[in-house]
Amino acid sequence: MEWVRKLLRRGGTTELDPGRGDLIVVVSSFDDAEACSAALARAEHWTPDQPAVLRHHLRVPADQIRSVAVIAAQEGYELSNSPGEENMILRRVQILDALHCSQERSRMAGLAQRHDGDALGWDALQPAMGQPKEKK
């Protein structure tokens, strides 16, 4: 039954506040040729069974940012950077694994390309190890 819980937590989970102050980048890849599985394999501080804030870094023309954000919101992503920034960052909380990371990476690359842009890369954040858990 653990696999069912993990499946249900993928994408859109609210178990982790993406605005927490103790989040650190635990894995990233800005190399188109690197597989998500390879990036996750080299990650030192990633905790696979815990939610992560998956962020996709895109560069799209300024007049396309709103359209991209609206489409991404349908999949539970939110725009996490300030208006006027050159690149956009879309984020959502999910359990991170190689398969779903790869699927999302491909989805974001297609979304950016359809809006005259590029997917620059992705990263994931989790609470820093040794930090106290967030109070409810």
4-53 pLDDT tens trace: 344 444 444 448 999 999 999 999 999 999 999 999 999 999 999 999 99
104-135 pLDDT tens trace: 999 999 999 999 999 999 999 999 874 444 44
The whole-number pLDDT of residue 52 equals 97
**Alpha helix locations (H) across the chain?**
2-9, 36-42, 65-73, 98-114
Which among 80, 90, 93 has a CA at the least distance from the CA of 127?
93
Q: What is the pTM of this model?
A: 0.83
Using N-to-C axis directions, what is the helix angle for 65-73 and 98-114, rounded to 10°?
Answer: 140
Q: Supply the DSSP symbol for 76.
A: T
Rounded distance, CA 133 to CA 123, Å? 22
Q: How confident is residue 78, by pLDDT bands cut at 50, 70 and 90?
A: very high
